[in-house]
Amino acid sequence: MDIRKPNILGDYLRHKDINCYLDYLARRYSRFVTVFPIGTSFEGRSIKAIKIDLNKGSRKRERQWVFIEAGTHGREWITISTALFCIYQLTEKCFRNVDILKQIGFIIVPVVNADGYEYTHETNVSWRKNRRPIPNCRYVGTDCNRNYDFQWEGGLSRLGKSTFQGEVPFSEPETRAIRNVLKRFSPNIKFFLSFHSYAQSLMYPWGYSKDLPPSWEKLQQLAECGRTAIKKATGRSYRCGSISKLTHRTVHGSIADYAYGVEKIPFVIVMELPSSKFGFRPPNTEIESIVTESWTGIKAMCRRVIKNCQ
């Protein structure tokens, strides 16, 4: 069975079409692509990961991974397009990226918060959280990027806020799904990349503290490597720094701090995509230029991580 080729460069795909595309890639490129569910959202949507591994089936040596997640915040549509473009480049255009794929495998979750994303298409374009109702009150949704069990206690927030952290750490099916897949593949995950929008910055831990982590210089160098590649490609200027420094606040229970602090992934970057001009959902005509430019920076960072890990 085949599917009509989705227009990932000219349109924002709905969740079911994204899952169809992933399943198509798994069939078309079964030699090196696997798609598997990592969890189910509150409304019953399958949260899928795609694994791209040129060493699939070989027992040569243990694989090292880049892990990419997007669509944690429902309204950040361009993050999902960017993850899909990475998937497209690493599968349908894999011959262009063989140098990277020979060295490292990829696990990509293009839509973490499927319910929140669909809700922004159907009902409220500026929705950020997931869609699980909070028991015994009138509020719906938790901010999945505040719900991880690392320095979670410091982030107390009100039920109705768009950054509500949840009743307890890992109260949400989406964050449990990411936690479980990370546990399964770390300690071989070398680079964790989280897409958000639209602050146009490359950030690293910590979020919860103004202090810098021990390896901050390596993280800063990695971020600057992404920034330089993008600047060279299009002239766009990204900012680099720690999450707390660039956002001028502390953020508790985020996935980036969890990946770095608990799973001990050595390279963790939050890539806040462009742009202040277009906001969370740039017009369809802008998708191609943003995702192409972003891919340039992502590739440069992957190459640097590979070099660092050799």
Binding-site ranges for Zn ion (CB under 5 A): 73, 76, 196
* Torsions phi, psi for 110 (to 5 deg): -75, -25
CB 138 within 8 A of CB 118: no
111-142: b or e for each residue (b if 16 or more CB lie within 10 Å)?
A: bbbbbbbbbbeeeeeebbbbbbebeeeeebbb
Query: In terms of Cα–Cα distance, which of 55, 60, 40, 76 is closest to 180?
Result: 40
CB 11 within 8 A of CB 81: no
The amino acid at residue 114 is A
Rounded to whole angstroms, the Cα distance separating 281 from 269 reads: 22
CB of 120 to Zn ion, least distance (A): 12
CB of 70 to Zn ion, least distance (A): 9
CB of 278 to Zn ion, least distance (A): 15
64 vs 194, which CB is nearer to Zn ion? Answer: 194
Catalytic residue among 272, 286, 288, 293: 272
CB of 298 to Zn ion, least distance (A): 17
3-state secondary structure of 11: coil
51 vs 129, which CB is nearer to Zn ion? Answer: 129
CB 294 within 8 A of CB 17: no
CB of 73 to Zn ion, least distance (A): 4
39 vs 71, which CB is nearer to Zn ion? Answer: 71
* Secondary structure (DSSP) of 223-269: HHHHHHHHHHHH-PPPEEEEHHHHHTS---S-HHHHHHHTS--SEEE
69 vs 263, which CB is nearer to Zn ion? Answer: 69
Query: In terms of Cα–Cα distance, which of 203, 201, 150, 177 is closest to 71?
Result: 177
CB of 282 to Zn ion, least distance (A): 15
74 vs 226, which CB is nearer to Zn ion? Answer: 74
76 vs 257, which CB is nearer to Zn ion? Answer: 76
As given in the structure block, the two tokens for residue 238 are 């990204």
Query: In terms of Cα–Cα distance, which of 205, 217, 198 is closest to 264?
Result: 205
The DSSP output letter for 188 is S
196 vs 304, which CB is nearer to Zn ion? Answer: 196
167 is catalytic: no
With both helix axes pointing from N to C terminus, report the angle between 15-28 and 114-122 in degrees, rounded to the nearest 10: 130
The amino acid at residue 43 is E
CB of 136 to Zn ion, least distance (A): 28
Residue positions annotated with a catalytic role? 272
